[in-house]
């Protein structure tokens, strides 16, 4: 598992979007026993918090101490520093394993082998992610140039799995084909720019070039944003969700 988010973990917590509750309600509906859930690559614990009302115990793991230190500490959620590919949990321990916008950083063979070991028969594995942010035609045009042209060489190779909506990931179980969903946020211009600054490619550009790539589009982005103080920001959500055989 690769760590791209220890740097700027406070920004990550402040500006990263939160998944809609309907996703977790749908997952909850296909799980009979709700004893224990595992959130892999938990970051600041967003998904762990969402799972907390449904499960007796939620375990949340990450390799970034900085990210976990930003997580909300809530009864019933147990955080630990562990790679998703090799954990210290017992066999057949979890009814649900989730990875939100994280699975593409894992070693797939090792991660899926570990999930199969950890899940109870009939347990659910859910990989969730969200696609490139969308706002409107004018802003999207600027963001597309920023994403593909300016930052293209600075994206880690694993980003291709997000671009393909995880369809290229060798998912180990038959897909339950959950319907697509969408994250909706109402953001000001400064909040939108704050989110863009959490991108791993932006951080890599700054490290290698010494300047913020957002400077290259700041004027164009402000013009396309217009006079509106806020815009509705959309993130298309995709998932690969399946059930371990043997239930």
How far are the Cα atoms of 2, 99, 130, 134, 149 from residue 144, in angstroms, in the given order? 25, 26, 15, 9, 8
Strand, helix or coil for residue 233: strand
Considering just the CA atoms, what is the radius of gyration of the chain in Å? 18
The domain made up of 9-243 is a member of CATH 3.40.50.150: yes
Instruction: Tell me the C-alpha distance between 39 and 79, whole Å.
Output: 9
pLDDT tier at 6, thresholds 50, 70, 90: very low
Helices 137-144 and 218-225 meet at what angle, rounded to 10? 160
Statement: residue 162 has pLDDT above 60 = yes
| Strand ranges for the chain from DSSP E | 36-40, 57-62, 77-81, 94-100, 119-130, 181-188, 230-243
Q: Could you report the per-residue pLDDT of 28-50, keeping only the tens digit for each?
A: 999 989 999 999 999 989 999 99
Q: Could you report the per-residue pLDDT of 82-94, keeping only the tens digit for each?
A: 999 999 999 999 9
Instruction: Tell me the C-alpha distance between 196 and 191, whole Å.
Output: 9
What is the longest distance spanned by two Cα atoms in the chain? 57
- H or E element at residue 160: helix 159-163
Q: Could you report the per-residue pLDDT of 197-231, keeping only the tens digit for each?
A: 999 999 999 999 999 999 999 999 999 999 878 99
Q: Where are the domains of the chain?
A: 9-243
Q: Could you report the per-residue pLDDT of 53-64, keeping only the tens digit for each?
A: 999 999 999 998
């Amino acid at each position: 598992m690769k760590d791209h988010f220890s740097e700027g973990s406070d920004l990550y917590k402040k500006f990263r979007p939160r998944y809609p509750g309907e996703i977790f309600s749908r997952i909850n509906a296909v799980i009979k026993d709700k004893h224990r859930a595992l959130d892999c690559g938990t970051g600041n614990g967003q998904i762990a918090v969402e799972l907390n009302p449904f499960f007796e115990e939620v375990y949340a793991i990450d390799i970034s101490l900085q990210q976990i230190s930003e997580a909300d500490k809530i009864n019933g959620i147990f955080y630990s520093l562990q790679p998703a590919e090799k954990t210290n949990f017992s066999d057949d321990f979890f009814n649900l394993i989730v990875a939100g916008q994280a699975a593409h950083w894992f070693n797939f063979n090792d991660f899926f082998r570990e999930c199969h070991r950890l899940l109870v028969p009939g347990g659910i594995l859910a990989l969730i992610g969200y696609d490139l942010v969308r706002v409107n035609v004018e802003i999207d045009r600027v963001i597309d140039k920023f994403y593909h042209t300016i930052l293209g060489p600075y994206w880690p190779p694993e980003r291709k799995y997000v671009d393909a909506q995880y369809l290229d990931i060798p998912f180990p179980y038959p897909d339950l084909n959950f319907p697509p969903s969408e994250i909706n946020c109402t953001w000001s211009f400064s909040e939108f720019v704050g989110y863009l600054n959490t991108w791993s490619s932006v951080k890599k550009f700054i490290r290698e070039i010494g300047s913020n790539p957002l400077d290259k589009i700041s004027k164009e982005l402000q013009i396309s944003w217009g006079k509106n103080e806020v815009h509705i920001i959309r993130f298309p959500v995709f998932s690969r969700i399946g059930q371990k055989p043997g239930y």
